[in-house]
């Protein structure tokens, strides 16, 4: 549109110049106009066209700016998660109940009439093929989506009414896609609990099977955006350490051992019945060994 408009403006001024020459020529031949007059008119026309072109192009230059401002305005008007979520505090999580929950990201239903009841300290394994909706269930439990049908209740409070900061302090996840920030290893863990000293962080990392000497620079080792300079297993160990430090009531392990070596994977499996014994655990896995740690297995 911008190209059409700018070419249009050039076209119109060119046509106007041609018309001026043609009509001036006719008038001069008929003796109705002198060459001097023609010269004067053509100079005035030039003076007239230049600012007209400029005025027209200002609109073309301003238009993208207006569009960008509209988008920024729309973004600034969006409500934050905290403004649209409820404000009920759940307290220590005693039970989680999914009743007839259906949800889809678009028209396609991903979870259809899903039911699940988990009580305190229970270990539940969620099994199902790729794309069956296991991670989606974890996301629903963390309050990422509210447009589900049915009910998801924690301590008998509908999750839509719960304060998200309270919910997320009480439910932790070692996610399938681990988010790491560019910064030091220490920065990537300390944001969970700024009051912790370095010894406590090293202890949590070692519980997660990560030996700090693996990293040149120890806790000051630099991690690039999204942990591109780390192996999949190292990232998972950092995510596990975050979970250990966060110490939530409910721990979700979404394929949390898929990249770990046998030794570390066994360490995590042991932890589920030792350091996490007093925790409610939702274990999403394709590994039968990991699933066998659970009290209840739910296939979706």
Ligand X SMILES: Nc1ncnc2c1ncn2[C@@H]1O[C@H](COP(=O)(O)OP(=O)(O)OP(=O)(O)O)[C@@H](O)[C@H]1O
In the structure, how many helices (H) and strands (E) does the chain have?
10, 11
Rule CB under 6 A: say whether 247 interacts with ligand X.
Answer: no
Rule CB under 6 A: say whether 107 interacts with ligand X.
Answer: no
186 closest CA partner among 211, 240, 237, 223: 223
Length of the chain: 300
Contact assessment for residue 150 and residue 139, using Cβ atoms and an 8 Å cutoff: no
CB of 110 to ligand X, least distance (A): 4
Residue whose CB is less far from Mg ion, 210 or 282: 282
Q: Measured between alpha carbons, how far is 79 from 145 in angstroms, rounded to an integer?
A: 14
Looking at residues 114 to 133 of the shown chain, list those that interact with ligand X (rule: CB under 6 A): 128, 130-133
Provide the H-helix boundaries in 78-153: 81-84, 134-141
Residue whose CB is less far from ligand X, 57 or 258: 258
Binding-site partner at residue 150 among Mg ion, ligand X, none, CB < 5 to 8 Å by type: none
Could you write out the three-class secondary structure of 210-262?
CCHHHCCCHHHCEECHHHCCCCHHHHHHHHHHHHHHHCCCEEEEECCCCCCCH
Contact assessment for residue 201 and residue 190, using Cβ atoms and an 8 Å cutoff: yes
3-state secondary structure (DSSP) of residue 66: helix
Could you write out the three-class secondary structure of 39-52?
HHHHHHHHHHHHHH
Rule CB under 6 A: say whether 110 interacts with ligand X.
Answer: yes
Rule CB under 6 A: say whether 147 interacts with ligand X.
Answer: no
Contact assessment for residue 138 and residue 300, using Cβ atoms and an 8 Å cutoff: no
Rule CB under 5 A: say whether 257 interacts with Mg ion.
Answer: no
Binding-site partner at residue 96 among ligand X, Mg ion, none, CB < 5 to 8 Å by type: none
Rule CB under 5 A: say whether 135 interacts with Mg ion.
Answer: yes
CB of 180 to ligand X, least distance (A): 19
Q: Measured between alpha carbons, how far is 119 from 121 in angstroms, rounded to an integer?
A: 6
Binding-site partner at residue 105 among Mg ion, ligand X, none, CB < 5 to 8 Å by type: ligand X
Choose one: 47-55, 129-137, 147-155, 218-226; the region binding Mg ion (CB under 5 A).
Answer: 129-137
Looking at residues 164 to 203 of the shown chain, list those that interact with ligand X (rule: CB under 6 A): 176
The one among 24, 98, 134, 276 contacting ligand X by CB under 6 A: 134
Rule CB under 6 A: say whether 236 interacts with ligand X.
Answer: no
Rule CB under 6 A: say whether 258 interacts with ligand X.
Answer: no
List residues bridging with 157 in a β-sheet.
Answer: 154
Contact assessment for residue 184 and residue 230, using Cβ atoms and an 8 Å cutoff: no
Residue whose CB is less far from Mg ion, 249 or 255: 255
CB of 177 to Mg ion, least distance (A): 9
Cα dihedral value 138, 140, 145, 150, nearest 10 = 160
Rule CB under 5 A: say whether 13 interacts with Mg ion.
Answer: no
Residue whose CB is less far from ligand X, 127 or 159: 127
| Site pattern 60..99 for ligand X (x: CB under 6 A) | ----------------------------------------
Size of the site for Mg ion (CB under 5 A): 2
Residue whose CB is less far from Mg ion, 110 or 245: 110
Where along the sequence are the contacts to Mg ion (CB under 5 A)? 135, 176
- State the residues that interact with ligand X by CB under 6 A: 105, 110, 128, 130-136, 176
């Amino acid at each position: 549109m911008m190209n059409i408009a700018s070419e249009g403006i050039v076209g119109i001024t060119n046509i106007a110049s041609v018309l001026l020459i043609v009509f001036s020529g006719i008038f001069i031949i008929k003796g109705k106009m002198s060459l001097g007059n023609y010269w004067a008119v053509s100079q005035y026309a030039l003076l007239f066209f230049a600012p007209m072109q400029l005025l027209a192009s200002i609109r073309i230059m301003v238009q993208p700016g207006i569009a960008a401002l509209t988008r920024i305005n729309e973004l600034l008007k969006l409500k934050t998660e905290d403004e649209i979520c409820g404000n009920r505090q759940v307290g220590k999580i005693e039970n989680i109940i999914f009743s007839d929950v259906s949800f889809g990201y678009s028209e396609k239903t991903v979870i259809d009439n899903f039911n699940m009841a988990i009580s305190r300290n229970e270990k539940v394994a969620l099994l199902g093929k790729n794309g069956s909706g296991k991670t989606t269930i974890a996301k629903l439990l963390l309050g990422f989506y509210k447009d589900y049908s049915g009910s998801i209740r924690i301590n008998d409070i509908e999750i839509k009414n719960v304060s998200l900061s309270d919910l997320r302090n009480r439910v932790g996840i070692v996610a399938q896609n681990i988010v790491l920030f560019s910064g030091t290893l220490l920065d990537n863990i300390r944001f969970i609990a700024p009051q912790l000293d370095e010894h406590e962080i090293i202890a949590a990392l070692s519980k997660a099977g990560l030996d700090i000497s693996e990293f040149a620079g120890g806790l000051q080792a630099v991690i690039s955006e999204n942990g591109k300079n780390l192996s999949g297993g190292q990232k998972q160990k950092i995510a596990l350490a975050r979970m250990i430090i966060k110490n939530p009531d409910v721990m979700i392990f979404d394929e949390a051992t898929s990249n770990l070596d046998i030794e570390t994977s066994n360490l995590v499996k042991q932890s589920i019945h030792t350091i996490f014994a007093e925790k409610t655990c939702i274990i999403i896995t394709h590994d039968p060994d990991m699933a066998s740690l659970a009290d209840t297995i739910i296939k979706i």
